[in-house]
Amino acid sequence: MSFAFCSYFRGRMKRLFARQINFTRQNGNLTFVPHHEAVIESQLEKLQMLVDSSTNILILTGAGVSTESGIPDYRSEVVGLYARSNHRPIQHQDFMRSKHVRQRYWARNFVGWSKFSTVQPNASHFVLASWERHGKISSIVTQNVDRLHHKAGSKATVELHGCAHEVKCMKCNYEMSRDEFQRILTELNPSLSVPNAAIRPDADVELSQEIINTFRVPNCQQCRDELEGFYKPNIVFFGDNVPKSRVEFVFSQLQSSDCLLVLGSSLYVYSGYRFILRASELGIPSAIVNIGPTRGDKYASIKLSAKCSEVLTKICI
């Protein structure tokens, strides 16, 4: 790789990052990024050497990649949802068993959807899309449900926990886009509007019980049992399992890769943690970029406690 090309690439990424910083400051999105130190140059050089020596990198991304776009995470100190409130994400079994829980979920999600669905990718998403176009990575495995990697242009993306942009009937498996479902909800609840509501990681907002009690949620009109069919976002909720076929596919991708790069994930949840464990078992080197400690730090060859975009925009492929 020529020095001139590397300098050009870094300059291009810095300009992109600068535009993104201006955007996020204007929209107040940096409040969701935890306090962090500057990138340590010696660690950055080690990561550059690992990237240079790898030809087929598997990327695993978590919530820390999307916080710069304005989507809060759960566990970050001070700015994460758990630190700011006593709100906890919905549990799979609660959603499946209780009509009232589904009513509460969809009411909150309905109000938050207009903001969540229009969130845009940030510099990290665009850098990874560029790496893919240059044939540097095998695939991007994301724990996020926001579809921002797709918006940035990535194609080889595995949505480990599903996607908030799709809904599915739990009885007949009929699927529709979340935007289409939003139109149905709007027709049923034409007067509901809560301006300036702050979204949470799972795309919902805080609503009064009075509003929730009057919110109307449709049953599935496609399945044969209209009284029982109900819609759920195509997301793996807490308490549920990632489909085995999806996990096995990622394992196969990892086995054919020569490096695992974890970005913006604490690896607290086993669904992502298992992959750094498997990389260690296979002898595949791994690196982690995440603000603060992670569950997989002891398995990583390199760990950078830094903001993802500040690292990725300085790496040259």
- Is 77 labelled a binding residue? yes
- Residue 155, Cβ density class (10 Å: 0-12 exposed, 13-18 middle, ≥19 buried): exposed
- Is 65 labelled a binding residue? yes
- Among candidate residues 125, 149, 150, 161, the one labeled active-site is 161
- Is 283 labelled a binding residue? no
- Is 69 labelled a binding residue? yes
Three state DSSP letters for 34-48: CCCCCCCHHHHHHHH
CA angle 122, 126, 127 (to 5 degrees): 115
Helices (H), the chain: 3-27, 41-53, 81-84, 92-97, 99-116, 123-133, 148-152, 178-188, 209-214, 244-255, 270-282, 308-312
- Is 299 labelled a binding residue? no
- Is 274 labelled a binding residue? no
Is residue 134 annotated as a catalytic residue, yes or no?
A: no
Spell 54-72 as b/e; 16+ CB within 10 A means b: beebbbbbbbbbbbbbbbb
- Is 144 labelled a binding residue? yes
- Does residue 232 contact residue 168 with C-beta atoms inside 8 Å? yes
- Is 220 labelled a binding residue? yes
- Is 153 labelled a binding residue? no
- Is 270 labelled a binding residue? no
- Is 316 labelled a binding residue? no
Q: At what angle do helices 244-255 and 270-282 cross, to 10 degrees?
A: 30
**What is the dihedral sign for C-alpha 294, 295, 298, 300?**
negative
- Is 6 labelled a binding residue? no
State the catalytic residues: 161
Question: Known binding site for NAD(+): residues?
Answer: 62-82, 143-146, 264-266, 290-292, 308
Q: Which residues are annotated as a binding site for Zn(2+)?
A: 169, 172, 220, 223
**Where is the binding site, in residues?**
62-82, 143-146, 169, 172, 220, 223, 264-266, 290-292, 308
